[in-house]
């Protein structure tokens, strides 16, 4: 299996600097620090830029920041900007409200393999725990096993075993396409594969399905999927549900592409790079 060199972690964010600060703090405490961070900001105010500048000053890994004007939910464009700014040959997409556990990078590195992407997993945190963690600076990724169990029993975490059990790279490959566990909040992809399918499709506007679209097109291009459960879990901070006004039309597009074998984004990395 090919071992990756420097990894690039592209973190999308929008006007939630307290959550982003918690995510970055956890990134700085990784047991594998051979990676860079690119903050892909989908139009936040100056508070987020100030937060990144402050934290990057003492960071143990390189931190880069890319920003685009606020013109609605444009996560696909933000991730493409992050991809173009990345110098690593392997990119892990992470959301700015998903706190990685200490071995997140090393586990993704161990699962990275040419011809595959890794769809990671997440553990949902409750509203009360999230608010307390952000207010009091609680390191949710550093909680003890006993603390995690108590939070699971109290309903403040929706999983427990997945936070403490690590399954080896056995039986993870999905050779048939599945819609299950496609989340760009925790997704590892080779940069060359992203370039081959033209990245995320920026024609997807509003919330939803730009991640499913990418995985469908990668599958048509011959990239299979590994399941990152019991290895790459992140702790997803609670937030209110986003507006889903475009979800139905986006979903129809993905289903059409799944049926017709589409591999290329109609507006993606190539168009974005040319415009830049």
> What are the extents of the domains in the chain?
7-275
Integer Rg of the chain from CA:
18
Residue 175: is it exposed, middle or buried by C-beta count within 10 angstroms (0-12/13-18/19+)? Answer: exposed
Q: Global pTM?
A: 0.94
Q: How many CB atoms lie within 10 A of CB 178?
A: 13
d(CA 35, CA 167): 23
- 3-state secondary structure at position 67: strand
Q: Report the top-level CATH class of 7-275.
A: alpha beta
Query: Which residues, listed in sequence order, are joined to residue 234 by a DSSP beta bridge?
Result: 100, 122
Torsion of CA 186, 255, 114, 190, to 10 degrees: -50
Q: Report d(CA 24, CA 5) in Å as an integer.
A: 21
Give, for all 276 residues of the chain, the pLDDT tens digit: 455 578 999 999 999 999 999 999 999 999 999 999 999 999 999 999 999 999 999 999 999 999 999 988 899 999 999 999 999 999 999 999 999 999 999 999 999 999 999 999 999 999 999 999 999 999 999 999 999 999 999 999 999 999 999 999 998 998 888 877 787 899 999 999 999 999 999 998 777 789 999 999 999 999 999 999 999 999 999 988 765 555 578 888 999 999 999 999 999 999 877 876
Q: Report how far apart, in Å, the C-alpha atoms of 205 and of each of 81, 244, 250 are.
A: 16, 10, 8
């Amino acid at each position: 299996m090919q071992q990756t060199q420097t990894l690039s972690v592209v973190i999308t964010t929008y006007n939630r600097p307290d959550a982003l600060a918690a995510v970055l703090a956890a990134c700085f405490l990784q047991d594998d620090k051979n990676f860079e961070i690119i903050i892909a900001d989908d139009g936040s105010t100056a508070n987020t830029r100030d937060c990144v500048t402050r934290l990057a000053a003492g960071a143990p890994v390189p931190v880069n920041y890319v920003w685009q004007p606020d013109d609605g939910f444009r996560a696909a464009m933000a991730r493409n900007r992050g991809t173009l700014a990345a110098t690593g040959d392997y990119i892990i997409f992470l959301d700015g409200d998903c706190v990685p556990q200490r071995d997140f990078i090393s586990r993704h590195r161990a699962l990275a393999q040419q011809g595959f992407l890794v769809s990671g997993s997440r553990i949902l945190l409750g509203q009360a725990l999230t608010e307390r963690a952000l207010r009091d600076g609680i390191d949710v990724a550093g909680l003890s096993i006993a603390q995690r169990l108590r939070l699971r029993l109290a309903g403040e975490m929706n999983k427990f075993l997945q936070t403490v059990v690590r399954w080896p790279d056995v039986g993870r490959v999905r050779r048939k396409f599945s819609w299950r566990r496609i989340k760009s909040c925790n997704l590892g992809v080779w940069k060359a594969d992203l370039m081959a399918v033209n990245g995320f499709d920026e024609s997807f506007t509003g919330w939803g399905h730009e991640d499913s679209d990418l995985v469908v097109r990668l599958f048509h291009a011959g990239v299979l999927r590994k399941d990152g459960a019991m290895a790459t879990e992140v702790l997803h901070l609670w937030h209110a549900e986003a507006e889903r006004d475009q979800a139905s039309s986006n979903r129809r597009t993905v289903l059409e592409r799944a049926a017709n074998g589409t591999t290329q984004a109609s507006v993606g990395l190539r168009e974005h790079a040319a415009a830049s």
